[in-house]
Amino acid sequence: MGTFIVSGCGGIQSTLDPGGREAKSIADLFWWMTAGAIVIWLAVILLTVYAARLRSEARNQRRDRILIIGGGAVIPTVVLTVLLVYGLAPIPTLLAPAPEGSLKIIVSGEQWWWRVRYFPRGGEAFELANEIRLPVGEPVQFQLDSPDVIHSFWIPSLAGKMDMIPGRVTYLALQPTNIGTYRGACAEYCGTSHALMNFYVEVMRKEDFSAWLAQQSQVSQPPVEPSAARGQELFLANGCNACHTVRGIPARGVIGPDLTHVGSRMSLAAGTMPNEPDAFQRWIAHTTEVKPAVNMPPFHMLPPEDLRALAAYLEGLK
């Protein structure tokens, strides 16, 4: 039993296994709240046991009154007051913006995926989807919005959650402290495929992050393999460019995710599937089966060889 309890405190999506400064403050608050709850629970249990086991002839009215007032009123009041003060103290820090000049990332929650736009210091802005990469030890400023319904942006191991409300812009600052891969999710019910609206966050060494930024800002490279080249032709011929952008070819659609470097991402369909050729084929042919009510139509009418060619092209977009 204890093993199951402890194992639930770790993982890539656990608030109790923090990898960021803000998440650590939240985890510390949880443990202090838990300790306070245990103190109050013990006081009540001890009073209950005392009252149940004490014989009537041994009762002392003055002593009982002291125990009831002390254990039932004073201890809870003191503990809850301390927890209230401790819980309010970190709020200004958690809500404060990142320092001027920090990396800025705009995230838009859509049904049911994440549009991510980077604005690196001194570099070209670019867009990707359903994935975030961050430099370790550096503060980051997120700007959050939604074009459709209320979503909630949450990376449990790095920071608290923040709602994304149509017509409003909200902000969240965080500073990752541990290198690793973490999982984020939408924490507000937003429709049919709400449970399939996730994303991965990779915290990288600063030099690796700089190299990744430089690579992501580049346009896509022409496919080398014949199958991938055929896939690019099919991508354009079947109208995929009407909804998707692939920088470097005539594909400038903005309805769906930017696919310029989709082959280098950690997952497909907002954390729903692994990034591999078979998954690409299944996603293209059976979109609404994988993610119900998604806006992308399925292309199950395409022959298997065309699906393989499309998957080869997309997988090659590194």
| pLDDT tens, position by position, 256-295 | 999 999 999 999 999 999 999 999 999 999 999 999 999 9
Instruction: Write out the two tokens for 63.
Output: 């002593």
Residue 277 CA, chain-centre distance (Å), reads 25
| Stated pTM of the model | 0.88
Query: So what's the pLDDT on residue 122?
Result: 79
- The larger pLDDT score, comparing residue 122 to residue 41, is at 41
Q: What whole-number distance in Å separates Cα of residue 22 and Cα of residue 25?
A: 5
Query: So what's the pLDDT on residue 173?
Result: 97
Lowest mean pLDDT among 40-44, 111-115, 183-187, 306-310: 40-44
How many Cβ atoms sit within 10 Å of the Cβ of residue 207?
Answer: 9
User: Could you check whether 99-216 and 226-315 share the same CATH topology?
Assistant: yes
Task: Residue 156: name the closest of 44, 8, 49, 42 by CA.
Answer: 8
Lowest mean pLDDT among 111-125, 127-141, 142-156: 111-125
- In this prediction, residue 180 has a pLDDT band, given cuts at 50, 70 and 90, of very high
Lowest mean pLDDT among 68-82, 205-219, 265-279: 68-82
Mean of pLDDT values over 43-47: 85
Q: What whole-number distance in Å separates Cα of residue 318 and Cα of residue 315?
A: 7
pLDDT, one tens digit per residue, over 189-203 is 999 999 999 999 999
Query: So what's the pLDDT on residue 57?
Result: 63
Mean of pLDDT values over 33-59: 82
Helix (H) or strand (E) holding 104: strand 103-110
DSSP line for 157-196: TT---EEE-TT--EEEEE-B-S-EEEEEEE-S--STTGGG
Task: Residue 127: name the closest of 280, 236, 245 by CA.
Answer: 245
Q: What percent of the chain has pLDDT over 70?
A: 96
Query: So what's the pLDDT on residue 85?
Result: 93
- In this prediction, residue 121 has a pLDDT band, given cuts at 50, 70 and 90, of confident
Mean of pLDDT values over 146-167: 96
Q: What is the CA radius of gyration of the chain?
A: 26
What CA–CA distances, in Å, run from 129 to 22, 50, 52, 132, 165?
24, 60, 61, 8, 19
CATH classification for the domain delimited by 99-216, as one of 1.10.150.20, 2.60.40.420, 2.40.30.170, 1.10.3720.10: 2.60.40.420
Whether the predicted pLDDT of 21 surpasses 80: yes
Helix (H) or strand (E) holding 219: none
Question: May I ask the CATH class of domain 226-315?
Answer: mainly beta
Query: So what's the pLDDT on residue 35?
Result: 93
pLDDT, one tens digit per residue, over 76-106 is 899 999 999 999 998 888 889 999 999 999 9
- In this prediction, residue 56 has a pLDDT band, given cuts at 50, 70 and 90, of low
Mean of pLDDT values over 110-120: 96
Q: What whole-number distance in Å separates Cα of residue 31 and Cα of residue 37?
A: 10
Phi/psi of residue 238, nearest 5 degrees? -95, 10
Query: So what's the pLDDT on residue 7?
Result: 54
Query: So what's the pLDDT on residue 4?
Result: 47
Whether the predicted pLDDT of 8 surpasses 70: no
For the chain, the domains span: 2-94, 99-216, 226-315
* DSSP code, position 74: I
Mean of pLDDT values over 173-180: 97
Query: So what's the pLDDT on residue 163?
Result: 97
